[in-house]
């Protein structure tokens, strides 16, 4: 069991969200799932310019370089699929 969390900062204020998930295989998977939920929230809210931050250097390096991490292939693919919907987006 893992609890994912993310924070959205906007001109209107700060929104925090979280989600509980079962059967998370690793810390990398938990970070990937949290990032995916943040990307989904940004997409759903119609944000155009976003910056996504993560504690996982491995995850951010992989996304920025386009190197697919087999351990989280499906999550990684979903992040990249939604990423293109933003006018400007970066991962740090």
Q: What is the pLDDT of residues 23-56, one digit of tens each?
A: 889 999 999 999 999 999 999 989 888 889 898 9
pLDDT of residue 15: 75
Structure confidence by residue, pLDDT tens digits, 54-88: 989 999 999 999 898 999 999 999 999 999 999 99
CB atoms within 10 A of CB 49: 10
Compute the distance between CA of residue 44 and CA of residue 58 in angstroms, rounded to an integer.
26
Strand 49-52 and strand 88-91: pairing? parallel
Q: What are the angstrom distances between the C-alpha of 73 and each of 11, 45, 46? A: 34, 25, 25
Compute the distance between CA of residue 35 and CA of residue 69 in angstroms, rounded to an integer.
14
pLDDT band at 14 (very low <50, low <70, confident <90, very high): confident
Give the pTM.
Answer: 0.86
Segments in the chain forming alpha helices (H): 27-44, 57-65, 73-83
Compute the distance between CA of residue 58 and CA of residue 84 in angstroms, rounded to an integer.
21
């Amino acid at each position: 069991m893992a609890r994912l969390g993310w924070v959205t900062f906007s001109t209107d204020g700060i929104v925090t969200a979280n989600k509980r998930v079962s059967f998370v295989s690793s810390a990398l998977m938990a970070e990937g799932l949290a990032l995916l939920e943040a990307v989904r929230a940004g997409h759903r809210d119609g944000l155009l310019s976003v910056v996504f931050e993560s504690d996982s250097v491995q995850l951010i390096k992989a996304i920025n370089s386009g190197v697919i991490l087999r351990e989280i292939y499906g999550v990684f693919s979903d992040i990249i699929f939604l990423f293109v919907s933003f006018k400007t987006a970066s991962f740090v």
